[in-house]
Chain A
């Protein structure tokens, strides 16, 4: 099968880091904290690699849009099994400078350039929590979309894809002709760890660089961030000694 798969990977503040709002209330501090690949994008890469291992995909291109350090997540994708990588270099501060619509346009042009048949993205980035890019990309390409995927099957020798999607209250199954866009949900798979030999090999895999200008895309933000504030803090921490005391307090609060 000759499917060319494109996977989009975002570099985000690591999921285990507790984000802090800066003193001037203009942004979340992203300068000195650990970053890694967005967890949903790891799932997207893993799915692409599995399709290749099952001989249902011929090649995998990983793409990331953002500052120079995005090359680190691209190297991770290459170590997991992607064949080549494209870095679209542009500014991103993790606070809404580079927005989903702009990324969707950059990915659209990259997908056209790379002649992708299937694009897999994460369902959302854990920094902006937007959950938009895959859907926007599908709209721009006028391709079918299958979002929040928990199972992906390639059917009819690569002409069709069948996807189980997580919806409110359960799951649904849809099928769509390729080319198509899929966004990965948590349950799609368990991403592999890159092994040391594969990390070494990944350093030799091709990584090309592009700019928004090369792709003819205007990435100017449409949405302005006026302020970033800490959420209200809850006054928790009261430990009660017994179930009786708990029931009394809940009755007093009028919730039971």
Chain B
């Protein structure tokens, strides 16, 4: 049986948890969910309605808020000891990456990160070397801890009957870390990880103001905006928009790379997109080798024209 660690914020389940649930469903056996935090009761009611969960463990305590790793990891370890799960699964998000390896160490087991395929209960595929190689790995540990790549699994659907809720076991609250504040980029656009269309800009945009033409195109397409590392480092957009090996991994229906050369590290974050379009003035840019459609020319002319013509 598996335990899925639910990520949530402001009373909402993180979409990536829905993908993690589908990965857990492929492992076989029953699936339980763990919801922790001061709003966990309300979130647990939403979680209980998701397939294939048969039980929701609820830890209602502010000690688990903001995903503080120390308390959350010790709760996961305690839940494992009480429930004797064969697998513990979380999304490979900032939260999952922070918490799960610490829980793995407490349980003295290895973790398989960024799983993109479940071959059997102990064998998984995962990319490494920035996605330039895919490893098939077999975990020999009794308990298998996995963080899964959200874009590699469909979101879980809802189920007819809500799963039962139960209090999670007590865990030692060792956390001495204090959460002080957060600065989250507010946006009405879809979340980068779930957007159907992503329009991404690189250094060639030349300024943060110029990103406006990408937002116009993205809005027209009902999508959102991402960026290359170069654009983030140059301060054009926020870090949280970075797509690539060390940023977000996206796999939208349509990815439009504007003024992005296509470095290995960027490609790692977008090459699973269904259709890739590249707009670049350098016809030799590596991005053209993987783009389904490439347009060589001045992005400041092409992007507004494209926005206009999609409107028509």
**What residues make up the interface of A, taking CB atoms closer than 8 Å to B?**
13, 15-16, 18-21, 28, 40, 95-96, 99-101, 104, 123-124, 126-140, 142, 144-148, 150, 162, 166-177, 185-187, 222-231, 234-240, 242-244, 246-247, 249-250, 253, 255-256
Contacts and interface: CB of A to CB of B under 8 A. Distances in A.
Contacts of A230: 132-134
Interface in B240-279: 240, 245-246, 248, 253-254, 264-265, 271, 274-277
A4 to B, nearest CB: 20
Contacts, number: 263
A224 B123 CA distance: 9
Contact of B102 (A16, A145, A176, A237): A145
B302 A229 contact: no
Interface string B144-187: 00000000000000000000000000000011111111111100
A174 B293 contact: no
B169 to A, nearest CB: 18
B120 to A, nearest CB: 11
A235 to B, nearest CB: 8
Given A20-B132, A176-B177, 16 more contacts: A129-B113, A136-B105, A167-B95, A170-B182, A171-B184, A172-B181, A173-B182, A174-B68, A176-B176, A228-B135, A230-B132, A230-B133, A236-B290, A238-B294, A246-B306, A249-B293
A130 B111 CA distance: 9
Contact of B132 (A40, A139, A168, A231): A231
B101 to A, nearest CB: 4
A78 B132 CA distance: 31
B294 A237 contact: yes
Interface of B: 14, 66, 68-70, 73, 93-95, 97-106, 108-114, 123, 127-141, 174-185, 191, 193, 197, 221, 229, 232-233, 238-240, 245-246, 248, 253-254, 264-265, 271, 274-277, 283, 288-296, 302, 305-306, 309-310
A228 to B, nearest CB: 5
Given A100-B111, A144-B175, A170-B182, A224 B140 contact: yes
A150 B138 contact: no
A132 B113 contact: yes
A172 B182 contact: yes
Count chain A CB atoms within 10 A of each CB in B98, B99, B238, B254 and give the residue with the most: B98
B240 A168 contact: yes
9 contacts: A170-B184, A171-B184, A174-B180, A223-B110, A225-B136, A236-B288, A237-B288, A237-B294, A239-B283
A123 B246 contact: yes
B63 to A, nearest CB: 14
Determine chain B's interface SS by DSSP, over half rule.
Answer: mixed
Nearest to B242: A186
A137 B105 CA distance: 8
Contact of A169 (B129, B185, B277): B185
Count chain B CB atoms within 10 A of each CB in A19, A95, A235 and give the residue with the most: A19
A40 B229 CA distance: 14
Contacts of B70: 138, 144-145
Contact of B246 (A175, A186, A224, A228): A186
Given A15-B265, A136-B105, A168-B93, A175 B274 contact: no
Contacts of A173: 179-182
B305 A129 contact: no
Contacts of B296: 239
Contacts of B105: 101, 104, 135-140
A255 B253 contact: yes
A242 B309 CA distance: 11
B101 A243 contact: no
Contacts of A96: 128, 135, 137
A146 B293 CA distance: 42
Contacts of B141: 222-223
B130 A126 contact: yes
A227 B136 contact: yes
A188 B242 CA distance: 15
Nearest to A170: B184
B95 A168 contact: yes
Contacts of B106: 139
Nearest to A30: B129
Contact of B176 (A104, A177, A244, A249): A177
